[in-house]
Amino acid sequence: METETTNKQQVRKYGLITLIIIIGVLLIYYAVMAMIAPAKKYNGLKDEYGYKQVVKNSINDTIQTDSTYLALFREKAFLQARTSIAETDSIYLSINLVDSSMVLEISGVAVARTKLTRISLSKMFLDRNDYVISSMLSKPFTIERNIASIPKEPLMIKMAPKDTSEFKPDIIPDTADYEPVNYILEMNNGTVMHVYQEEKLNRGDRSHLFLFDLRYRLRSAWSTLKSVFTFKVPEYHPYIKVRLPRSDAKIIYRALPGHGQIAVYR
């Protein structure tokens, strides 16, 4: 009887150890796969935007690290991106990460400006002198998906009265709005832009932002998890996180078209 109990205890003990080992191995595998993702993304970008040798000469290998060349190249890339969008006649956003400013433009005309109070960048965007990233920024980003705490168009449905007796004139609209303004823009090149309001106006604003961010993180974690367990390297999404005054954040979100474009300078 005593031996049976001891055996059971040992089986449970080994079972637990095996389970811990399996979970540990899976977590390590998950972490390793996730850590490979940025390098894979960068190599993909390198293939697409890397330095192309047009004419073979002695300077091609070193010029892409030259300070003067890189400074001019970054400037040209930003102008190129803005010019190409300006020709489309739509509303777009120019973000200058160096002087922390954001400008809403229509056909090359600045219609609204704001100062970014806080910027946080993915490691991919931190190296200002990376030729591949500078080259990638010469093409505007196109928004593929919006996730926001406010509606793009605050539509209100009103049923038409059947006759004049049912007609009631509109009362003054309630223009005081309290919703926090936070949104995430997913771009066509895999970059994700997080725009959060700077102010904490209400008590619930902090918890709202935490939950908003958590929901997005859970969604990303789920997609990473799916890739990893189908033995694929997950997609890496470099991010640009900015904070700006609430009113400006709202103006920008409402003004940008669903598939609007963004030019970035860093």
Partner 1 sequence: MEDEILKGEVLQPSPDQKVIEDQKPAKTFFIALKVFIVLLALLFLFVFPVYLVPALMEIPKGNKTLVTNFLTLKKDPSYKKQITQLNRDIQRLSRKYSSYTSGQSYIVINTTDNLFYLYRNKKLIREGHCSTGSFKMLKTEEGRSWIFKTPKGKFTIQGKQTNPAWRRPDWAFVEEGMPVPERQDDPSRYEYGVLGDYALALGDGYLIHGTIYKRFLGMPVTHGCVRLNDEDLKAIFNTLSIGSKVYIF
Q: What are phi and psi of 203, to 5 degrees?
A: -60, -35
Residues 104-143 within binding reach of partner 1 (CB under 8 A): 104, 106-112, 122-123, 126-127, 129-131
Calpha distance 196→243 (Å, rounded):
5
Does 176 contact partner 1 by CB under 8 A? no
Among 3, 5, 53, 58, binds partner 1 (CB under 8 A): 58
Return the axis-axis angle of helices 205-228 and 2-49, rounded to nearest 10°.
90
Shortest approach of partner 1 to residue 162 CB, angstroms? 6
Calpha distance 86→93 (Å, rounded):
10
Residues 76-95 within binding reach of partner 1 (CB under 8 A): 76, 79-80, 82-83, 86, 89-91
CB nearer to partner 1: give 25 or 72.
72
Determine whether 5 is exposed, middle or buried from the number of CB atoms within 10 Å of its CB (0-12, 13-18, 19+). Answer: exposed
**Closest listed residue to residue 89, CA positions, set 250, 257, 248:** 257
Does 177 contact partner 1 by CB under 8 A? no
CB nearer to partner 1: give 3 or 109.
109
Calpha distance 242→195 (Å, rounded):
5
Among 119, 147, 209, 251, binds partner 1 (CB under 8 A): 251
CB nearer to partner 1: give 69 or 198.
69
Calpha distance 36→52 (Å, rounded):
25
Shortest approach of partner 1 to residue 215 CB, angstroms? 10
The per-residue b/e assignment along 95-108, b for 16 or more CB within 10 angstroms, e otherwise, is: bebeeeebbbbeee
Residues 210-229 within binding reach of partner 1 (CB under 8 A): 214, 217-218, 220-221, 224-225
Select the span of 3-11, 71-79, 140-148, 199-207 touching partner 1 (CB under 8 A). Answer: 71-79
Among 161, 207, 211, 259, binds partner 1 (CB under 8 A): 161
CB nearer to partner 1: give 196 or 236.
236
